[in-house]
Amino acid sequence: MKIRNILILSAIAILLAAVSLWIGQWTYSWMPPQAAAESHLVDKLFSFLITLGAFIFLGVTGTLIYSAIFHRAEQYDTSDGPPIEGNITLEIVWTAIPVLLVFWIATYSYQIYEQMGIQGPMEAMHIHIPIGMRSASAAPINGDAGIVSASPTSSIVSTDATSNVIAFEDIEVNAKQWAWVFRYPEKGITSTELHLPVNHRIRLAMQSEDVLHGFYIPAFRVKQDIIPNRNIDFEFTPIRIGKYELTDSEFSGTYFATMRANVVVESPEDYKKWLAEAANRKPCTANNQAASEYAQESKELIKGWVTVAPAQAPVVNYSN
């Protein structure tokens, strides 16, 4: 290859790399706020994959569009192009590079996965095992995951996977058609709003009364299906004070879209205050959008069909 061609190709590659890096940085703004330790990890991985992906996309489509502009046949030219049938070196290169990329992406994804310690179902089935026997993947995230700076008060969360002094906040989650109920076993209170102390490792024990539901908080980047007749254990660490939304992520029937709940992440003091306040409230029936829609005559232009009746609206200490 001529030196001139090599220089041109290198210049194009550098330009593409620069644009791809810029797109990769841009990805952070496409995401919801980073409200849990997990979200930093996911966003970092996503940014990396989009950087790589943008490079490949721009490279391939750039080549195609260049051809489309500059390699057109003249109007009356019916001759054929050069009969090039292949190029073994090139074919080996464009097989080998993707193979290497796959290993790179898979390894990096695996590392992020380990750091997140997302609970698999095997762990989920271990809910009855004492905390001391927790699997390694339940360990909180290490400092090098980039969350220490984001959560300066994370001293409550131990960074040592083998120690048993981690401050867990245990909360029970009950999902049914179409409501979320959260129970705080220590105080024995129930709520339709999920309150969480910031910078604590949260451990949820999730159950479904009827069909599959999915526990999903976009701002936390965590999601887990809840399967009827199974206990699902799930963990994450909120790191940013604020109000977020929990949604049902597995289609659960007619009023699926209404199955949302507020998630309030607050300072440990506010959290304690809220627990105390809720404990003083008498249980009463919470508002439930599915139940009230079901009770009303349908207002839509096209009337619906007979549907599964919503479960009883939850009776809880605290509702919004």
Q: Which of residues 124-143 bind other proteins (CB under 8 A)?
A: 124, 137
Cα(147)–Cα(237) distance, rounded to whole angstroms?
10
Cα(88)–Cα(94) distance, rounded to whole angstroms?
10
Cα(39)–Cα(218) distance, rounded to whole angstroms?
9
Going from the C-alpha of 183 to that of each of 247, 252, 283, 289, the distances in angstroms are: 17, 21, 12, 20
Buried b (16+ CB within 10 A) or exposed e, 100-119: eeeeeeeeeeeebebbbbbb
67 forms part of the interface with other proteins (CB under 8 A): yes
Stretch that binds other proteins, among 1-9, 160-168, 257-265, 271-279 (CB under 8 A): 257-265
In the complex, the smallest distance separating the C-beta of residue 243 from other proteins, rounded to whole angstroms, is 12
Q: Site for other proteins (CB under 8 A): how many residues?
A: 98
In the complex, the smallest distance separating the C-beta of residue 259 from other proteins, rounded to whole angstroms, is 10
Stretch that binds other proteins, among 50-58, 153-161, 167-175, 267-275 (CB under 8 A): 50-58
Strand 189-191, strand 179-184: pairing:
antiparallel
242 forms part of the interface with other proteins (CB under 8 A): no
Which sign does the torsion angle of CA 85, 87, 93, 95 carry? positive
* 288-307 residues near other proteins, rule: CB under 8 A: 293, 298-307
83 forms part of the interface with other proteins (CB under 8 A): yes
In the complex, the smallest distance separating the C-beta of residue 307 from other proteins, rounded to whole angstroms, is 5
Going from the C-alpha of 130 to that of each of 126, 134, 135, 164, the distances in angstroms are: 9, 7, 11, 11
Q: Coil, strand or helix: which one is 187?
A: coil
30 forms part of the interface with other proteins (CB under 8 A): yes
5 forms part of the interface with other proteins (CB under 8 A): no
251 forms part of the interface with other proteins (CB under 8 A): yes
21 forms part of the interface with other proteins (CB under 8 A): no
Nearer to other proteins, 89 or 280 (CB): 89
* 156-195 residues near other proteins, rule: CB under 8 A: none
149 forms part of the interface with other proteins (CB under 8 A): no
Look up tokens 């008060």; give the residue: 153
Contacting residue, 218, 241, 268, 315, with other proteins by CB under 8 A:
218
Strand 194-197, strand 260-266: pairing:
parallel
Contacting residue, 2, 3, 85, 89, with other proteins by CB under 8 A:
85
Nearer to other proteins, 121 or 283 (CB): 121
The β-bridge partners of 170 are 203
Cα(33)–Cα(221) distance, rounded to whole angstroms?
10
Stretch that binds other proteins, among 8-16, 24-32, 126-134, 269-277 (CB under 8 A): 24-32
Contacting residue, 216, 241, 270, 311, with other proteins by CB under 8 A:
216
Q: Cis link prior to 178 (omega < 30° from 0)?
A: yes
312 forms part of the interface with other proteins (CB under 8 A): no
Structure tokens at 222: 């965590």
Contacting residue, 139, 157, 194, 232, with other proteins by CB under 8 A:
232
Burial, 236: exposed, middle or buried (Cβ in 10 Å; 0-12, 13-18, 19+)? buried
Cα(236)–Cα(239) distance, rounded to whole angstroms?
10
For the chain, the residue count is: 320
Q: Quickly list DSSP for 28-55.
A: GGGSPP--BHHHHHHHHHHHHHHHHHHH
219 forms part of the interface with other proteins (CB under 8 A): yes
Nearer to other proteins, 191 or 247 (CB): 247
199 forms part of the interface with other proteins (CB under 8 A): no
Nearer to other proteins, 49 or 156 (CB): 49
116 forms part of the interface with other proteins (CB under 8 A): yes
